[in-house]
Amino acid sequence: MLNALLATVLVFVGVGLLLYLVTLLFNALSLPLDGTWERWRITRCVARGRRGDTLREAGNLDGALSEFQAAFFLHPVRNRAMASVVVNHHTGLLSRLIAITEDVQGGTVRLLSLAKVDRLLNERSELQRRYFNTRMTPDRQRRRQLDRELDNNRRELQAALRQLIVEIRASRQPARMQ
């Protein structure tokens, strides 16, 4: 009887230890895989920006605008170096959209949604900075709050980008009639 009880306890301790070791192994592997997945997604967005450049040079402004809109990386970034790459990428995309707007409007930029996109991108950079600072703290409620704020910013930014593309396309229409 005592042997059966001792064997049962040892089995549970062994299974618990095995689960603990598997969890440690999984956590050790997930960090590099997470970074690889994130880099791949960012690289894909950068490639879409380049495709937009190619389409713009070929004279396909509608295709270029669609690629530029899809090239924005609107997911939380877990790596500080990648966050810097994303900020620079977004700055480049915004400057391309400004250049297209200048071309379409004859040297001036008068789109309100352009300023809104710029404001939301700056807000996103600040949220991302705060996200890095709170990832290392045990305050889960604060991290969840920042996740919600980043998600709200993403939705607002997507809507502002759609509006910006619509405004750029609409400002192009009178130029075609001349």
- Quick one: pLDDT band at residue 108, thresholds 50, 70, 90? low
28 or 152, which is more confident?
Answer: 152
From CA 71, how far away is CA 50, in angstroms rounded? 9
CB 38 within 8 A of CB 77: yes
**Residue 29, token pair as written in the block:** 């592997």
Q: Indicate if the alpha-carbon torsion angle 82, 83, 85, 86 is positive or negative.
A: positive
How far is Cα 43 from Cα 88, in angstroms, rounded to an integer? 13
pLDDT at 116: 92
Residue 109 scores a pLDDT above 70: no
pLDDT of residue 32: 59
**CB 53, CB 100: distance < 8 Å:** no
Average pLDDT for the chain: 86
The whole-angstrom separation of Cα 71 and Cα 53 is 11
Please report which helix (H) or strand (E) contains residue 25, including its range.
helix 2-57
Whole-number pLDDT of residue 176 = 45
- What b/e string do you get for 50-72 counting C-beta neighbours within 10 Å, with b at 16 or more? ebbbebbeeeebeebbbbbbebb
Contact 102, 109 (CB under 8 A): yes
- The tokens for 174 are 């009178």
- Which residue's structure tokens are 């970074």? 35
Asked if 97 contacts 164 with a C-beta cutoff of 8 angstroms, the reply is yes
Per-residue model confidence as pLDDT tens digits over 10-35: 898 899 888 888 877 776 665 555 67
Torsion sign, CA atoms 99, 105, 110, 112: negative
pLDDT of 7 > 60? The answer is yes
pLDDT at position 80: 83
Computed on alpha carbons and rounded to an integer, the radius of gyration of the chain in Å comes to 24
Q: pTM here?
A: 0.74
